[in-house]
């Protein structure tokens, strides 16, 4: 160059653009990781709420079934006590005095009606109470796991019956000739059983038809489940929520199932307890396909969990 002078250009600041670009990429990567972690954490917490609700509901159902088993055993005891004084009246050959038979029959009907009211009340009340308790337990966990949030939705799904709002075990009176399993009696169940008696004086033979209410058995084909579905609304992401479109954490759903096991209504065994079960036991998957939720029909199509 003229005069031998050299022009030296400074390279200071050339790396700033590259550093800022890398910092932006790293920040966005951190935001994605944080938001995905937030979504995963919400999904896990939501599953905890669903599990708690399902187990609570099944526990209340187990209490109800134990109550039904208790009253059912009481009905068998009433029948057993009734069968002894009516042993002769139920025989077509050896008869008893009509006054005695009539008193025994009226007393049995009164006791059986009272026990039947208590049994039916347990059958109708506890399924409703199960849902209320499941919702109460879910609300309690919601306050702890999702503080300050609302608009969560709960739903009980009755897959086994496919009829709402009928829940719990469906029962019917045992058929003719069923022996009492809880107690020993002279006669097995006779829902239609005439009795014979004589009056004095004058001696007259009477043949009186009788329609008796007896104890119960469950008639559903399989075990009954308490399925609890919890839906969480959309939520704001922890980082750059507006950049991702606002309320970037999508709506989520979690489901869990439990059932009462271990007891027997017909045998009067009050040993029902709640047990968690996989959702695949409630709605088996088809050919190994993973489950999905049908938002149009508002029910799970196939579920594996």
Q: Strand pairing partners for 195?
A: 208
- Cα distance between residue 262 and residue 165, in whole Å: 24
Domain assignments of the chain as residue spans, ordered by start: 16-278
Whether 17 has a pLDDT exceeding 90, the answer reads: no
User: What DSSP assignment string belongs to 260-286?
Assistant: EES-BTTTTB---EEEEE-HHHHSPPS
What pLDDT score does 37 carry?
A: 87
Q: How far apart are the first and last CA of the chain?
A: 79
Question: CA Rg, the chain, in Å?
Answer: 34
**Structural contact between residues 89 and 205, judged by C-beta atoms closer than 8 angstroms:** no
What's the average model confidence in pLDDT over 201-223? 80
What pLDDT score does 38 carry?
A: 86
Taking each continuous run of H as one helix and of E as one strand, the counts in the chain are: 3, 11
Across all residues in the chain, what is the average pLDDT?
A: 81
Which residues are CB-neighbours of 159 under 8 A, at least 6 positions away?
A: 225, 227, 282, 283
What pLDDT score does 162 carry?
A: 39
Lowest mean pLDDT, pick from 37-51, 185-199, 272-286: 272-286
What pLDDT score does 44 carry?
A: 92
Residue 271 has phi, psi (to 5 degrees) of -125, 25
What pLDDT score does 8 carry?
A: 52
Whether 15 has a pLDDT exceeding 50, the answer reads: yes
Lowest mean pLDDT, pick from 1-15, 263-277, 288-302: 288-302
Whether 187 has a pLDDT exceeding 80, the answer reads: yes
Whether 281 has a pLDDT exceeding 80, the answer reads: no
What's the average model confidence in pLDDT over 24-45? 85
Percentage of residues of the chain with pLDDT beyond 90 = 33
Whether 155 has a pLDDT exceeding 60, the answer reads: yes
Q: Is 97 helix (H, G, I), strand (E, B) or coil?
A: strand
Instruction: Specify the residue for token string 């995905």.
Output: 36
What's the average model confidence in pLDDT over 135-161? 84
Residue scoring higher pLDDT (222 or 78): 78
What pLDDT score does 9 carry?
A: 59
Q: Judging by beta carbons within 10 Å of its beta carbon (0-12, 13-18, 19+), is residue 109 exposed, middle or buried?
A: middle
Alpha carbons within 13 angstroms on the beta-carbon side of residue 227 total 25
What pLDDT score does 216 carry?
A: 93
Whether 40 has a pLDDT exceeding 70, the answer reads: yes
Peptide bond into 8 cis (omega under 30): no
Residue 264 zone, left/alpha/beta (φ > 0; ψ -120 to 50; rest): beta
Q: Is 217 helix (H, G, I), strand (E, B) or coil?
A: strand
Whether 69 has a pLDDT exceeding 90, the answer reads: yes
Residue scoring higher pLDDT (4 or 189): 189
What pLDDT score does 136 carry?
A: 95
Confidence of residue 127 (pLDDT cuts 50, 70, 90): confident
Q: Judging by beta carbons within 10 Å of its beta carbon (0-12, 13-18, 19+), is residue 7 exposed, middle or buried?
A: exposed
What pLDDT score does 141 carry?
A: 93
Whether 190 has a pLDDT exceeding 80, the answer reads: yes
Most confident of 7-11, 201-205, 276-280: 276-280
């Amino acid at each position: 160059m003229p005069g031998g002078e050299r022009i030296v250009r400074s390279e200071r600041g050339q790396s700033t653009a590259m550093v800022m670009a890398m910092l932006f990429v790293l920040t966005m990567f951190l935001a994605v990781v944080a938001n995905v972690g937030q979504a995963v954490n919400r999904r896990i917490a939501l599953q905890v709420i669903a599990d708690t609700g399902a187990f609570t509901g099944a526990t209340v159902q187990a209490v109800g079934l134990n109550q039904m088993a208790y009253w059912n055993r009481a009905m068998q005891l009433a029948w057993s006590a009734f069968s002894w004084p009516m042993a002769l009246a139920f025989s077509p050959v050896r008869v008893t005095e009509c006054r005695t038979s009539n008193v025994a029959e009226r007393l049995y009907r009164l006791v059986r009606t009272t026990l039947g009211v208590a049994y039916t009340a347990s059958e109708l009340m506890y399924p409703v109470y199960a849902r209320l308790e499941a919702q109460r337990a879910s609300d309690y966990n919601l306050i702890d796991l999702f503080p300050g949030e609302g608009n969560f939705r709960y739903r009980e799904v009755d897959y086994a019956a496919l009829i709402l709002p009928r829940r719990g075990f469906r029962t019917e009176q045992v058929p003719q000739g069923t022996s009492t399993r809880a107690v020993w009696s002279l006669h097995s169940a006779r829902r239609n059983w005439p009795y014979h008696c004589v009056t004095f004086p004058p001696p007259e033979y009477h043949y009186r038809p009788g329609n008796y209410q007896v104890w119960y058995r469950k008639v559903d084909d399989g075990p009954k489940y308490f399925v609890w579905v919890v839906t969480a609304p959309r939520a704001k992401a922890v980082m750059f929520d507006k950049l991702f479109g606002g309320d970037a954490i999508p709506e989520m759903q979690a489901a869990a199932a439990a059932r009462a096991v271990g007891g027997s209504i017909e045998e009067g065994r009050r040993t029902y307890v709640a047990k968690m079960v996989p959702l695949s036991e409630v709605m088996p998957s088809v050919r190994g396909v993973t489950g999905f939720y049908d938002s149009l029909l508002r029910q799970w199509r196939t579920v594996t969990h």
